[in-house]
């Protein structure tokens, strides 16, 4: 007898040294506990979002595109600091729930739009980091062409028009921006970052917030010094040569 775990069959009495799989599978149902390692990764980055003050309460959501094309996403109404493997939800790319006890995140439609329009993207991270969300609250995007590393790693961070959270207006608000950007300020709401891995999506969230904090401090000290066109072109070429052409 075998269990389907992480796209592989693991022999029940074979050489599997990850003994928690069968125990968890029996407790929560085999199909519900598939993709154990991806669940653990999602929980790890949920904890980081919470620990680093990028979300409060039950705010924010994370998702990963699974190898079978389905999406593993955080549940609605749960603190990202205390997620449990068995509470994560698996949905199809059309949004149909496949496994999980509760409801998928209220921003499921936004995540699905990212995966549909950007086939190379494997993870989404949505949070309400204080400095970047403060820019969103006053309807400002973050200025471009200030810090070289932000230009190379993220590029322009556009402001998506306000859309009521949890509605189909959210994916509509980012649709035009999606093809060319990996980080978005959602007006009067928060931030969305996307990546080829969950680590990349999370790191971009940290960078956006760190950058927003620096811009806020810099603007209180003096006038922002904008890099010249020649240097911006050089940095953008570097970005493209690193494979970060979006």
Nearer to Zn ion, 129 or 190 (CB): 190
Q: Which of 46, 100, 155, 190 binds Zn ion (CB under 5 A)?
A: 190
Nearer to Zn ion, 190 or 195 (CB): 190
Q: How far is the CB of 173 from Zn ion (least distance, A)?
A: 12
CA pair distance 41, 233, nearest whole angstrom: 36
Residues 84-103 close enough to bind Zn ion by CB under 5 A: none
CA pair distance 65, 103, nearest whole angstrom: 18
- Binding segment for Zn ion (CB under 5 A), chosen from 26-34, 69-77, 169-177, 184-192, is 184-192
Residue with the CB atom nearest Zn ion in the bound state: 190
**Looking at 85, 107, 206, 231, which residue is catalytic?**
107
Nearer to Zn ion, 143 or 166 (CB): 166
CA pair distance 70, 193, nearest whole angstrom: 19
Catalytic site includes residue 107: yes
Q: How far is the CB of 38 from Zn ion (least distance, A)?
A: 22
CA pair distance 239, 151, nearest whole angstrom: 7
Q: How far is the CB of 155 from Zn ion (least distance, A)?
A: 22
Nearer to Zn ion, 32 or 173 (CB): 173
Q: Are 76 and 149 in contact (CB under 8 A)?
A: no
CA pair distance 94, 182, nearest whole angstrom: 22
* Binding residues for Zn ion, total number by CB under 5 A: 1
Q: Which residues of 150-162 are buried (b: 16+ CB within 10 A; e: fewer)?
A: bbbbbbbbbbbee
Residue 108, both tokens: 């499921």
- Binding segment for Zn ion (CB under 5 A), chosen from 16-24, 72-80, 112-120, 183-191, is 183-191
Q: Are 105 and 73 in contact (CB under 8 A)?
A: yes
Report residue 210: phi and psi, to 5°: -60, -40
Q: Answer yes or no whether residue 46 interacts with Zn ion by CB under 5 A.
A: no
Nearer to Zn ion, 34 or 49 (CB): 49
- Binding segment for Zn ion (CB under 5 A), chosen from 9-17, 39-47, 110-118, 188-196, is 188-196
Measured between its terminal Cα atoms, the distance across the chain in Å is 46
Q: How far is the CB of 82 from Zn ion (least distance, A)?
A: 18
Q: What is the DSSP letter of 104?
A: B
| Residues annotated as catalytic (active site), given as ranges | 107
Q: Which positions lie near Zn ion, rule CB under 5 A?
A: 190
């Amino acid at each position: 007898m075998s269990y389907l775990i992480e796209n592989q069959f693991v022999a029940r009495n074979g050489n599997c040294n990850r003994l928690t799989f069968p125990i968890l599978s029996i407790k929560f149902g085999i199909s519900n506990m598939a993709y154990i390692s991806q669940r653990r990764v999602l929980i790890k980055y949920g904890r980081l979002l919470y620990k680093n003050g990028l979300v409060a309460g039950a705010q924010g959501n994370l998702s990963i595109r699974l190898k079978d094309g389905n999406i593993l996403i955080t549940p609605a109404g749960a603190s990202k600091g205390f997620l449990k493997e068995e509470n994560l939800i698996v949905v199809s790319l059309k949004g149909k729930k496949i496994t999980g006890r509760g409801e998928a995140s209220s921003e499921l439609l936004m995540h699905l739009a990212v995966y549909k329009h950007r086939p190379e993207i494997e993870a989404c991270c949505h949070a309400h980091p204080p400095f970047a969300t403060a820019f969103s609250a006053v309807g400002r995007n973050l200025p471009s062409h200030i810090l070289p590393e932000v230009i190379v790693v993220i590029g322009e961070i556009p402001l998506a028009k306000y859309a009521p959270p949890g509605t189909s207006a959210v994916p509509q608000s980012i649709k035009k921006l999606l093809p060319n950007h990996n980080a978005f300020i959602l007006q009067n709401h928060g931030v969305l970052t996307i990546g080829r891995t969950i680590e990349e999506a999370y790191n971009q969230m940290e960078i956006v917030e760190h950058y927003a904090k620096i811009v806020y401090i810099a603007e209180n000290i003096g006038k922002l010094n904008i890099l010249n066109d020649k240097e911006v072109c050089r940095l953008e070429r570097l970005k493209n040569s690193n494979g970060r052409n979006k």
